[in-house]
Chains A and B, each alone.
Chain A
Amino acid sequence: MYSKKVMDHFQDPKNMGEMTDANGVGTVGNPKCGDVMRLFLRVKTRRVRSPKSEVQKEEEYIDDIKFQTLGCAAAIACSSATTEMVKGKTIEEALDLTNQDVVNELGELPPAKFHCSVLAEQAIKKAIEDYKSKKVKK
């Protein structure tokens, strides 16, 4: 039913747990539907040199990420895979992540479980949104 990669993530989820110093949190899904996914982000700023010029610029990147998920094996695997995929990436890069990227990362997902990958994409977008809105308030 599930690919080896899904089962690996399910049995040994990466970046699982709560983060107390998160500056962005996104929760999607509904316990009534059986799936709830929560992502915690710690976004930091780093100075990087643009490859074409000598000018340095600042970029925001995901320094650390953790997840908590109530759901089936596919939901857990999608959460785990997503955290690995976006860790260290800039928030722009993370916003570009699609559910298909998550499916590709896992090899395959049964059609009935596609919504789990959609949840993962929504969760990361929502967590970044939360980070941005908190930044504005500051």
Chain B
Amino acid sequence: MYPIYLDYAATTPVDPEVIKAMIPYFTTDFGNASSIHSYGRRARQAVDEARKIVAEFLGCESSEVIFTSGGTESDNLAIRGLIASYENTNNTTKVLKYESKKQNTKPHIITTQIEHHAVLNTVKNLEKSGMIEATYLKPNSDGIVSVRDIESAIKPNTVLVSVMYVNNEIGTVQPIREIGKLIEKENKSRVQESKSPKEKSSGLPDFRTRDSHIYFHTDAVQAAEYFDMNVQTLHVDLLTFTAHKIYGPKGIGVLYIKKGTPIKPEQTGGEHEYRKRAGTENVPGIVGIAKAVEIVRKSKSPKVQESESPDSSAGKNQSQNDILRLRNKLIEGILKTVKGSRLNGIRELRSPGNVNISVKNAEGEAILLNLDLQGIAASSGSACTSGALEPSHVLLAIGVPAEIAHGSIRFTLGRHTTETEINRVLEVFPGIVEKVRSISPFK
């Protein structure tokens, strides 16, 4: 018997339909999509069709879909690519010359303290190298970032806001649509401001309209399976997602780049992906992500697609409701049977698949290994699993005390999770916590 898998937020098994769709592009239709012959044309056709499917999923144009190697690359391309575009056109210095009179000399990025490391470390790295100025917003204790905090963090030199859609550790859903609308409003007022005669007479460079534009990026890696991914309703300029969290293959992801968003490619090479991402197309991967997206689309009811508040359970399809029900059963069961346990992150605005529990006086890795010995695969925000000494940056950011954050366990449910599996976890989990606590000096 296979161990019980409750780590779907880490990765998912590839859907057999996805594998079936991919296979020909390894074997018979293996051509390079850039080749002119029939092999190449077949590959190109597959890439074009896949791009169309992804574009429909996101509600955008095909030319706005860029295939990458995954979430981390998409995040890097969005953030570094945007910042590099200012350098490239030598506009930074100009903008900055102008802005320096006001207060700042560098482009400013607003992000949050609970981002995935692909975003957080990219912003930190740019900040450290002196290229940008950054604000890392703290969420509230529920794990939600406030739109008002973003509004008050905006400065004249703000060029990018990057906020994740669904948190990978605690599953909390951020108000992406509201943030997107806020930024749109802000951009409109900036355009008007720069058109005013007073500004013109001061001899300002006319690129200011473009360069003082604020772009909005969201890492939607954990959202793609359950939530509205329409870039129009979300009001985003840049959006990241990846295949392997939606039952597709590893090594393929997407960056949506809204037309007109300045992105300088990260790597030099051929003119692939509208000159945004050089490198021979990963044709089987591209076909795979499109198939995975198709399956997700089928599973989402129209209501979910249009839903104003994607977090509400209303409008989800049968399978999603099942996952939600099992998730709630697991949360309630653990909170009831394990003394000194707490749920991290708000329950209402939360991914249907995410359970993140902290237990007092028991260390996460010890619990995790015991679960593994009992045939249950989960994950932990404990320092000890990552090799770092600090516990999860997400738990610390939402105000979980370090000593409790060390005792955290994440179960993430998915399409194949069954009631029997959840019952099994509820059966063994309290005993495991007791066992680990019995070793501890704290009672």
Task: Identify the stretch in A50-58, A70-78, A93-101, A127-135 within 8 Å (CB) of chain B at 4 or more residues.
Answer: A70-78
How big is the B interface, by class?
20 to 34
How far is B402's CA from A72's CA once the two chains are assembled, in angstroms? 15
How far is B435's CA from A11's CA once the two chains are assembled, in angstroms? 10
* Residues of chain A lying within 8 A (CB to CB) of residue B365: 72-73
Contact in complex: A32, B363 (CB < 8 Å):
no
Given contacts A31-B406, A72-B382, A112-B387, contact A38 B441 (CB under 8 A): yes
How far is B363's CA from A72's CA once the two chains are assembled, in angstroms? 6
Question: Using a CB-CB cutoff of 8 Å, which residues 355-400 of chain B contact chain A?
Answer: 361-366, 369, 373, 382-384, 387-389, 391
Would you give the 0/1 interface string for A13-50, flagging 1 where the beta carbon is closer than 8 Å to chain B? 10010000000000100011111101000000000000
How far apart are A86's CB and chain B's nearest CB, in angstroms? Answer: 18
B321 at the interface (CB under 8 A from A): no
Contact in complex: A70, B383 (CB < 8 Å):
no
* Residues of chain B lying within 8 A (CB to CB) of residue A122: none
Question: Using a CB-CB cutoff of 8 Å, which residues 104-130 of chain A contact chain B?
Answer: 110-113, 115
* Residues of chain A lying within 8 A (CB to CB) of residue B440: 36, 68-70
Q: Which of B369, B389, B401, B441 contacts A70 (CB 8 A)?
A: B441
* Residues of chain A lying within 8 A (CB to CB) of residue B441: 27, 36, 38, 68-70
By secondary structure, the B interface counts as loop
B2 at the interface (CB under 8 A from A): no
Given contacts A32-B402, A34-B406, contact A72 B384 (CB under 8 A): yes
* Pair count A-B, CB < 8 A: 68
A10 at the interface (CB under 8 A from B): yes
How far apart are B377's CB and chain A's nearest CB, in angstroms? Answer: 14
Contact in complex: B391, A68 (CB < 8 Å):
no
* Residues of chain B lying within 8 A (CB to CB) of residue A75: 363
Residue of A nearest to B389 (CB): A33
How far apart are A118's CB and chain B's nearest CB, in angstroms? Answer: 12
How far apart are B276's CB and chain A's nearest CB, in angstroms? Answer: 37
* Residues of chain B lying within 8 A (CB to CB) of residue A16: 438-439
Given contacts A27-B441, A36-B442, contact A10 B383 (CB under 8 A): no
Contact in complex: B373, A70 (CB < 8 Å):
no
* Residues of chain B lying within 8 A (CB to CB) of residue A112: 387-388
Given contacts A32-B402, A34-B382, A76-B439, contact A70 B362 (CB under 8 A): yes
Contact in complex: A34, B384 (CB < 8 Å):
yes
How far is B439's CA from A117's CA once the two chains are assembled, in angstroms? 17
Contact in complex: B439, A34 (CB < 8 Å):
no
Contact in complex: B384, A31 (CB < 8 Å):
no
Contact in complex: A76, B366 (CB < 8 Å):
yes
How far is B366's CA from A85's CA once the two chains are assembled, in angstroms? 23
How far apart are A96's CB and chain B's nearest CB, in angstroms? Answer: 25
How far apart are B390's CB and chain A's nearest CB, in angstroms? Answer: 9
Would you give the 0/1 interface string for B251-290, flagging 1 where the beta carbon is closer than 8 Å to chain A? 0000000000000000000000000000000000000000
How far apart are A62's CB and chain B's nearest CB, in angstroms? Answer: 19
Contact in complex: B383, A34 (CB < 8 Å):
yes
Question: Using a CB-CB cutoff of 8 Å, which residues 199-255 of chain B contact chain A?
Answer: none
How far is B439's CA from A12's CA once the two chains are assembled, in angstroms? 11
Contact in complex: A71, B384 (CB < 8 Å):
yes
Chain B residues proximal to chain A, CB less than 8 Å: 361-366, 369, 373, 382-384, 387-389, 391, 401-403, 406, 438-442
List 16 additional contacts besides A33-B389, A36-B442, A69-B440; criterion CB under 8 Å: A7-B369, A10-B366, A33-B402, A34-B402, A34-B403, A38-B441, A68-B440, A68-B441, A69-B439, A70-B439, A70-B441, A70-B442, A71-B363, A71-B384, A76-B366, A110-B387
Chain A residues proximal to chain B, CB less than 8 Å: 2, 7, 10-11, 13, 16, 27, 31-36, 38, 68-76, 110-113, 115
Q: Which 9 pairs from chain A and chain B are nearest by CB?
A: A112-B387, A72-B384, A68-B441, A31-B403, A34-B406, A70-B440, A72-B365, A32-B402, A38-B441
20 A-B pairs in the complex with CB atoms less than 8 angstroms apart: A2-B369, A7-B369, A13-B439, A31-B403, A31-B406, A32-B402, A34-B382, A34-B383, A34-B384, A38-B441, A69-B439, A70-B361, A70-B362, A70-B441, A72-B363, A72-B382, A72-B384, A75-B363, A76-B439, A113-B384
